[in-house]
């Protein structure tokens, strides 16, 4: 026979205004012991009644940390994490979108280019520097580093062009600009 749970809550000084009660079963007791929450309520005995919120905080503590929000409504941890670092592929996708949106004004100064993409999409912060770090050896001369940054900027346009035919339209234009400005170090 299923006994109906109607309280009162056995936790000392409980004044939760709830209408749902649950029984402190032997399984619940085991869980509370495992989770260390029983230590604070050692007066509880199996078979006693707990209000829903006390039951959750004592027996299912990991489900209640976000108060009464149902488990399935909790924000996705990955999406809510502001400092999530994006994969390279994800960043290239964002870069493509930004360069597509900026296709009317081609930026050919690497410093402004970096600022432009990071301003357009803050998730792109660090991408340009990462590419520089990965592709330009530290022992290059300062002059060569400047040239290399230009090449990396054109690489950004080319990567975006590979993902998006619209961006691709001005790939040639970029190449021409870069060789005119002496940045073409790879393809002569």
Degrees to nearest 5, angle at CA 124 with 120 and 125? 100
User: Which tokens belong to 62?
Assistant: 């990991």
Between 11 and 160, CB nearer to Zn ion = 11
> 59, 61, 65: which is closest to 30 by C-alpha?
59
54 in contact with Zn ion (CB under 5 A) = yes
Alpha carbons 69 and 64: distance in angstroms, whole number: 8
CB 183 within 8 A of CB 150: yes
Residues 103-122 binding Zn ion (CB under 5 A) are none
149 in contact with Zn ion (CB under 5 A) = no
- Interacting residue with Zn ion among 5, 7, 16, 155 (CB under 5 A): 16
Between 14 and 132, CB nearer to Zn ion = 14
Calculate the alpha carbon distances from 150 to 106, 141, 154, 177 in Å. 13, 14, 6, 11
Segment contacting Zn ion (CB under 5 A): 5-13, 79-87, 106-114, 165-173? 5-13
Alpha carbons 59 and 49: distance in angstroms, whole number: 12
Report, in Å, the least distance between residue 15 CB and Zn ion: 8
Degrees to nearest 5, angle at CA 176 with 173 and 181? 125
Using CA atoms in the order 2, 7, 11, 12, what is the torsion angle rounded to 10 degrees? Answer: -150
Between 12 and 188, CB nearer to Zn ion = 12
Q: How many residues bind Zn ion (CB under 5 A)?
A: 6
Between 51 and 148, CB nearer to Zn ion = 51
14 in contact with Zn ion (CB under 5 A) = yes
- φ, ψ (nearest 5 deg) of residue 64: -105, -5
Segment contacting Zn ion (CB under 5 A): 15-23, 60-68, 98-106, 126-134? 15-23
Report, in Å, the least distance between residue 9 CB and Zn ion: 3
Report, in Å, the least distance between residue 20 CB and Zn ion: 11
51 in contact with Zn ion (CB under 5 A) = yes
32 in contact with Zn ion (CB under 5 A) = no
Contact residues for Zn ion, defined by CB under 5 A: 9, 11, 14, 16, 51, 54
């Amino acid at each position: 026979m299923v006994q109906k749970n109607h309280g009162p809550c056995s936790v000392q000084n409980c004044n939760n205004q709830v209408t749902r009660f649950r029984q402190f079963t032997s399984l619940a007791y085991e869980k509370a012991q495992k989770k260390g929450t029983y230590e604070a309520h050692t007066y509880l005995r199996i078979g006693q009644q707990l209000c829903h919120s006390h039951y959750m905080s004592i027996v299912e503590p990991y489900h209640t940390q976000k108060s009464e929000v149902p488990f399935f409504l909790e924000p996705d941890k990955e999406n809510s994490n502001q400092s999530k670092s994006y994969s390279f592929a994800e960043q290239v996708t964002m870069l493509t979108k930004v360069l597509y949106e900026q296709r009317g004004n081609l930026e050919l100064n690497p410093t402004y280019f970096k600022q432009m993409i990071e301003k357009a999409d803050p998730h792109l912060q660090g991408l340009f520097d990462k590419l520089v770090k990965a592709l330009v050896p530290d022992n290059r001369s300062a002059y060569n580093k400047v040239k290399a940054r230009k090449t990396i900027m054109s690489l950004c346009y080319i990567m975006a062009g590979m993902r998006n035919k619209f961006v691709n339209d001005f790939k040639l234009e970029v190449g021409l600009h870069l060789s005119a400005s002496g940045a073409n170090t790879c393809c002569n």
